[in-house]
A and B are shown apart, each in its own frame.
Chain A
Amino acid sequence: MEYVNPLTGFRIDGRRPNELRQIKGELGVVANADGSALFEMGNTRVIVAVYGPREVQNKSQQNNNQALVRCEYSMANFSTGDRTRRQKGDRRSTEISLVIRQTMEASILTHLMPRSQIDIFVQVLQADGGTRSACINAATLALADAGIPMRDIVTSCTAGYLCSTPLLDLNYVEDSAGGPDVTVGILSKMDKVTLLQMDAKLPMDIFENVMQLAIEGCKAIANYIREVLLENTKQLESRRGG
């Protein structure tokens, strides 16, 4: 299948190889939560709600030096093309929950909130490739909305390699093509990589190009997230009458 048109260079959804899908972020979508955000990357739509810092529910896990971070990832039954009844504790959900938790934990200043717990709940409403990345981006926005102190903005993006071209931000069709899929999560200002996952095989020099492309994508998303947060702060300020 022609993932990149040899004549025009366009991908199947009309994007160029180094073009991100349309992204959109919105804060404060769940009124009950301490912080929440909706993040869309193309057709992938994810809601994250953050509860915390609050009292640890399981006292045996309480840590006297830092906050406990928990994450739960779940996909709605209608989120993918086929309706599948997903069990709560299935392997993929557990793995992604772990990945998101560890990625966010690298950025949250947990030592400022000892003996407490921060819950990050992720709900995927529509899945079209890049769900992991959309979840991390949404989690960053939700944590900011909850006022939880973080070292830096964490953003994530995927990149792949099909038809001898590095492609940025794969959608579901490109992801299922069987080519390599590199997911990168970075702390944008500090320029540090906190998450790096890859499936399939790539020669070393091509891997470097693909990873660099993904990092560029992350930085672009970080700029957008910064704008969203600034806009939100301005609105809060004007509501407060400042």
Chain B
Amino acid sequence: MATTARGGGEREPAAGSGGGGGAAAEMEVEAYRRLFPVAYFERHLRESVRLDARPLASPRDTSVALGLVGSADGSALVKFGDTTMVAAIKLEVMTPPAESSDEGSVAVDFYMPPICSPTVRPGRSAEVAPVISKQLSDVIMSSGMINLKDLCLINGKASWIAYLDIYCLNADGSLFDAALVSAVAAFTHCIDDGRVVTVPGELEGKTKLPLVNKDKRKLMLNNVPFSLTCGLHKEHILVDPTAEEESIIETFVTVVLDTLGRVVSVYKPGGSVLAYTSILKECITLAKRRAQQLRNILNESVSAMEVDKSS
């Protein structure tokens, strides 16, 4: 937790009297924060701010950097405030199964190594990691972002399998959202370098694809999904919760939208707050706004990369 410096290091309003005298009043704030977290939190909500002085409907600063991992075919680093995700894609050739002989495949894995949080114990992976892994896999496949037929090389004999590995380097809330953006960004950056494939049994042993497309080829993405997680606490809706807020709030709604503004997925796993239709509609509107924001940030970093390459 941040320690307070005398010269205005803390940004939160002090509990009780307005920022009283020096060290004594500030010690009380830190102790109050630890001993009565829910009361401290609600005191902020009454002023319509959050623990880090954000307005309720405002997400954290987001940044996307592409191409960080040199050894991977596509990679991205995404930061939502302090939450940090690294995603990397490696393309390998496989023999497609008989029932989908003209399709490739995508394998998604999400890891939370012990560096990401003091609560993750080595030897035992975090409880949420496999849940987020499954959620990501479902959203990526069901949104139709990647046409599996695009990943086919030779019908029935060879196709690409894209291994997407996402590592959380710092866990500070909104893990699913950050992971999804990093996955999408890594796919945007993914380049098929036209590997030559030898197929056993064929005389020439070379595919037509790499010879025809000598230049590096990018994967075509359609219907890119973007998500937003909102926390529901009493009657407030908080956008992009941090880990501290996630430990206080019990109810979350995750909405995933695609490029055309259609709802790909809504996920509300229980929680004490029951959501009326109006609240869900509000979450969807907030998600639309956020999706637009994320799309702009992603496009900016893609064009920044292209400028770097051409210069």
Instruction: Enumerate chain B residues within 8 angstroms of A133, measured Cβ to Cβ.
Output: none
Are B71 and A49 neighbours in the complex by a CB distance under 8 Å? no
Known: A76-B88, A241-B7. Contact between A119 and B169, CB under 8 A? no
Pick out which of these stretches binds chain B: A77-85, A162-170, A224-232: A77-85
Q: Give the B interface residue count (CB, 8 A).
A: 32
Which residues of A, 46-104, contact B by the 8 Å Cβ criterion?
47-49, 51, 54, 57, 70, 72, 74, 76-83, 88
Which residues of A, 212-242, contact B by the 8 Å Cβ criterion?
240-241
Pick out which of these stretches binds chain A: B34-42, B107-115, B135-143, B211-219: B107-115
Q: Which single residue of chain B is at the shortest CB-CB distance from A34? A: B118
Which residues of A, 113-135, contact B by the 8 Å Cβ criterion?
119, 121, 123, 125-128
A2 to chain B, nearest CB (A): 24
Known: A47-B169, A121-B122. Contact between A78 and B115, CB under 8 A? no
Kindly state whether residue B165 has any CB partner on chain A within 8 Å.
yes
Are B116 and A78 neighbours in the complex by a CB distance under 8 Å? no
Which residues of B, 70-96, contact A by the 8 Å Cβ criterion?
70-72, 75, 82, 84, 86, 88-90, 92
Q: Which of B90, B117, B163 lies in contact with A32, CB distance below 8 A?
A: B117
Are B170 and A31 neighbours in the complex by a CB distance under 8 Å? yes
A72 to chain B, nearest CB (A): 4
Q: Give the A interface residue count (CB, 8 A).
A: 34
Which residues of B, 119-171, contact A by the 8 Å Cβ criterion?
121-123, 163, 165, 167, 169-171
Are A32 and B172 neighbours in the complex by a CB distance under 8 Å? yes
Are B109 and A32 neighbours in the complex by a CB distance under 8 Å? no
Kindly state whether residue A150 has any CB partner on chain B within 8 Å.
no
Kindly state whether residue A43 has any CB partner on chain B within 8 Å.
yes
Are B109 and A77 neighbours in the complex by a CB distance under 8 Å? yes
Q: In the complex, what distance in Å separates the CA atom of A93 from the CA atom of B115?
A: 16
Q: Which of A70, A78, A83, A88 has the most CB of B within 10 A?
A: A78
Instruction: Enumerate chain A residues within 8 angstroms of B88, measured Cβ to Cβ.
Output: 76-78
Q: In the complex, what distance in Å separates the CA atom of A196 from the CA atom of B7?
A: 48
Are B69 and A33 neighbours in the complex by a CB distance under 8 Å? no
Instruction: Enumerate chain B residues within 8 angstroms of A137, measured Cβ to Cβ.
Output: none
Kindly state whether residue A36 has any CB partner on chain B within 8 Å.
yes
Which residues of B, 151-197, contact A by the 8 Å Cβ criterion?
163, 165, 167, 169-172
14 contacts between A and B (CB under 8 A): A49-B115, A70-B122, A76-B165, A77-B109, A77-B163, A79-B71, A83-B92, A83-B165, A121-B113, A121-B115, A125-B69, A125-B167, A126-B71, A240-B5
Q: Using CB atoms and an 8 Å cutoff, list the residues of chain B in contact with chain A.
A: 5, 7, 69-72, 75, 82, 84, 86, 88-90, 92, 109, 113-118, 121-123, 163, 165, 167, 169-172, 243
Given contacts A77-B163, A121-B114, 12 further A-B contacts (CB under 8 A): A30-B115, A31-B82, A31-B170, A49-B115, A76-B86, A76-B167, A77-B88, A78-B165, A79-B69, A82-B90, A83-B165, A123-B167
Q: Using CB atoms and an 8 Å cutoff, list the residues of chain A in contact with chain B.
A: 29-33, 36, 43, 47-49, 51, 54, 57, 70, 72, 74, 76-83, 88, 119, 121, 123, 125-128, 240-241
